[in-house]
């Protein structure tokens, strides 16, 4: 057996289940979950209809590279969304079965097994980054994201020795759970560092389409490359998904795009990995990437939730509107694990302790003393949850 499996930590939701195993939620209140970031808005009907219309394709083996139409549709979306002039659908795009699978498998394909090698990531982080590093035979290295640096790692403080050992740098913009967006200048600084120290940048941009209605969307890594005149996107790949953008988490559909010199060996890996997307799912994905109206409506609904919830929580909780995404990342007056247990017991509202989403390094856990709240439930539920949280905090302060 692969002994590196023993290094994997329980997923945050496994830790959460253990934390609340002996908690009896208030039976007088119906449960409201703000814990799991699973979109609850309806999936676009036209996408589901496209899926149904192509169910006969279940009789056909899909290719790992995906159908030409989907790759062209993704290329067209990337050009529109990020003002790109060149994206080659034949060599710079690979459809994937959700970005979790792709983030993990990309690391396995790109990393050289080396006890001195590093996969560098933000902290807090999406736990796949860490697990992918362990199982690729290298070590994770964490860069703290807290209020002091605007929840974006202070890359200027990273020692050169770390960059020299880095093989893959994961960034998440907008961040999970912080919602912080990396500015263009920071992305371009990282591209120059990657050139200097010979590492790759993997940008997880799955929350990029959930931002303020009418506002310009967060800048992306490929966009930063193009602004530097690098249409080959050398050393850079991005990961996008329909799960959050289009409320289709069960479709398991996303893509990887960027440097063709990286995607070529990654495609070879995937042909052995056996993870081709079913053609009916590809056709549904093509329909989703081609439409923006449902995305605009999605943003409107999340904006309404932020407006209502923040209006209720302001004054009793240290909480700010994120740059993008659908999470709140507030401070807690008490230990985040105790806050989570008591909020469930007293108000039947579920959240995730921030310390479960990050690692303690040199005695400091940047997620401690915070909780993650996913505003995925219907508006009325989010409002009621916020009212209960306010009541809980007011009771704490008595």
106-165: pLDDT as tens digits: 999 999 999 999 999 999 999 999 999 999 999 999 999 999 999 999 999 999 999 999
Q: Quick one: average pLDDT of 228-245? A: 97
Element (H, E) at 328: strand 327-328
Distance separating alpha carbons of residues 308 and 321, to the nearest angstrom:
11
pLDDT class for 169, splitting at 50, 70, 90?
Answer: very high
Q: What share of the chain is helix, strand, coil (3-state, %, to 5)?
A: 45, 15, 40
Range of the domain at 214: 54-291
272, with CB counted inside 10 A (0-12, 13-18, 19+), is exposed
48 in any annotated domain: no
Return d(Cα 175, Cα 153) in angstroms, integer. Answer: 11
Structural domains counted in the chain:
2
Sign of the Cα pseudo-torsion (313, 318, 323, 329, in order) = negative
Q: Give the CA angle between residues 33, 35, 41 to the nearest 5°.
A: 65
Q: How far apart are alpha carbons 359 and 269 in whole angstroms? A: 30
**324 domain residue, yes or no:** yes
pLDDT at 308 over 90: yes
Q: How far is CA 194 from CA 107, 116, 123, 159, 371, in A?
A: 16, 18, 20, 14, 33
**Tens digit of each residue's pLDDT (9 = 90 or more) over 72-117:** 999 999 999 999 999 999 999 999 999 999 999 999 999 999 999 9
Of 219, 200, 220, 191, the residue nearest 266 (C-alpha) = 200
Q: In this model, does residue 398 exceed pLDDT 80?
A: no
Task: Evaluate whether residue 49 is within a structural domain.
Answer: no
Q: How far, in Å, are 112, 146, 175, 205, 211 from residue 122 at the CA level? A: 21, 10, 9, 14, 21
251, 271, 291: which is the final residue of a domain?
A: 291
In a domain, 128, yes or no: yes
Residue 249 counted as domain residue = yes
> pTM, whole model, 2 decimals?
0.96
Residue 165 lies in a domain: yes
Q: Which of 291, 317, 336 is the last residue of a domain?
A: 291
Q: How far, in Å, are 11, 20, 145, 283 from residue 176 at the CA level?
A: 15, 23, 11, 29
Q: Which residue stretches of the chain are H helix?
A: 12-19, 45-53, 68-82, 99-110, 128-136, 160-165, 184-197, 221-227, 242-245, 260-273, 279-289, 293-313, 336-347, 379-396
346 and 315 belong to one structural domain:
yes
Q: Of 291, 323, 358, which residue constitutes the final position of a domain?
A: 291
Residue 47 lies in a domain: no
Q: Are residues 133 and 183 in the same domain?
A: yes
Same domain, 7 and 145: no
Question: What is the reported pLDDT for 266?
Answer: 97
Same domain? 37 vs 60: no
Minimum mean pLDDT range among 5-9, 25-29, 321-325: 5-9
pLDDT at 1: 87
Asked if 252 and 278 touch (Cβ cutoff 8 Å), the reply is no
One domain for residues 93 and 237: yes
For residue 82, how many other CB atoms are within 10 A of its CB? 23
Query: What CATH number is attached to the domain comprising 236?
Result: 3.40.640.10
Distances (CA, A) of 376 to 270, 306, 316: 32, 11, 22
Residue range 266-285, pLDDT digits in tens? 999 999 988 899 999 999 99
The answer to whether residues 242 and 134 belong to one domain is yes
Q: Read off the CATH number of the domain in which 21 is found.
A: 3.90.1150.10
The closest of 57, 11, 56, 61 to 36, measured between CA atoms, is: 11
Regarding whether 160 and 130 lie in a shared domain, the answer is: yes
Q: Are residues 73 and 16 in the same domain?
A: no
Residues 205 and 272 reside in one and the same domain: yes
Q: What is the dihedral of CA 284, 288, 290, 296, to 10 degrees?
A: 170
Is position 323 within any domain?
yes
337 and 220 within one domain: no
What pLDDT does 176 receive? 96
Those residues whose C-beta lies under 8 Å from the C-beta of residue 132, and which sit 6 or more positions away, are 103, 104, 106, 107, 108, 119
Residue 397: pLDDT band with limits 50, 70, 90: confident
Q: Are 357 and 365 in contact (CB under 8 A)?
A: no
Q: Answer yes or no: do 119 and 252 share one domain.
A: yes
* Together in a domain, 253 and 315: no
């Amino acid at each position: 057996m692969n002994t590196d499996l023993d290094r994997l930590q329980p997923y945050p939701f496994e830790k959460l289940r253990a934390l609340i195993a002996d908690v009896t939620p208030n039976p007088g209140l119906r449960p409201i979950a703000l814990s799991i970031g699973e979109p609850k808005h309806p999936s676009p009907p036209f996408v589901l209809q496209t899926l149904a219309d192509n169910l006969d394709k279940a009789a056909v083996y899909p290719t790992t590279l995906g159908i030409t139409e989907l790759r062209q549709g993704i290329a067209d979306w990337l050009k529109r969304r990020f003002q790109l002039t060149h994206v080659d659908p034949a060599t710079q795009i690979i459809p994937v079965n959700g970005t979790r699978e792709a983030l993990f498998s990309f690391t396995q394909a790109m990393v050289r097994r080396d006890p001195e090698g590093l996969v560098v990531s933000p902290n807090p982080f999406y736990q796949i980054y860490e697990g992918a590093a362990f199982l690729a035979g290298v070590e994770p290295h964490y860069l703290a994201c807290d209020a002091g640096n605007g929840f974006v790692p202070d890359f200027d403080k990273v020692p050169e020795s770390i960059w020299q050992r880095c093989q893959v740098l994961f960034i998440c913009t907008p961040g999970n759970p912080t919602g912080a967006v990396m500015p263009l200048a920071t992305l371009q600084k990282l591209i120059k560092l990657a050139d200097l120290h010979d590492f790759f940048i993997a940008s997880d941009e799955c929350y990029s389409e959930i931002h303020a209605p009418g506002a310009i969307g967060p800048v992306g890594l490929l966009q930063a490359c193009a602004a530097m005149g690098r249409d080959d996107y050398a050393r850079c790949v991005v990961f996008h998904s329909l799960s959050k953008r289009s409320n289709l988490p069960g479709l398991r559909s996303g893509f990887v795009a960027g440097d063709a010199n990286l995607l070529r060996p990654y495609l070879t890996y995937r042909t052995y990995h056996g993870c081709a997307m079913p053609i009916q799912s590809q056709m549904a994905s093509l329909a989703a990437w081609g439409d923006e109206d449902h995305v605009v409506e999605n943003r409107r609904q999340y904006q309404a939730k932020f407006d209502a919830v923040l209006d209720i929580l302001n004054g009793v909780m240290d909480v700010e509107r994120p740059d993008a995404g659908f999470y709140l990342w507030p401070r807690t007056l008490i230990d985040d694990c105790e806050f989570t247990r008591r909020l469930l017991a007293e108000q039947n509202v579920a959240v995730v302790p921030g310390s479960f989403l990050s690692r303690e390094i040199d005695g400091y856990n940047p997620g401690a003393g915070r909780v993650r709240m996913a505003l995925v439930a219907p508006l009325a539920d989010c409002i009621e949850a916020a009212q209960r949280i306010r009541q809980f905090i007011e009771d704490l302060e008595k």
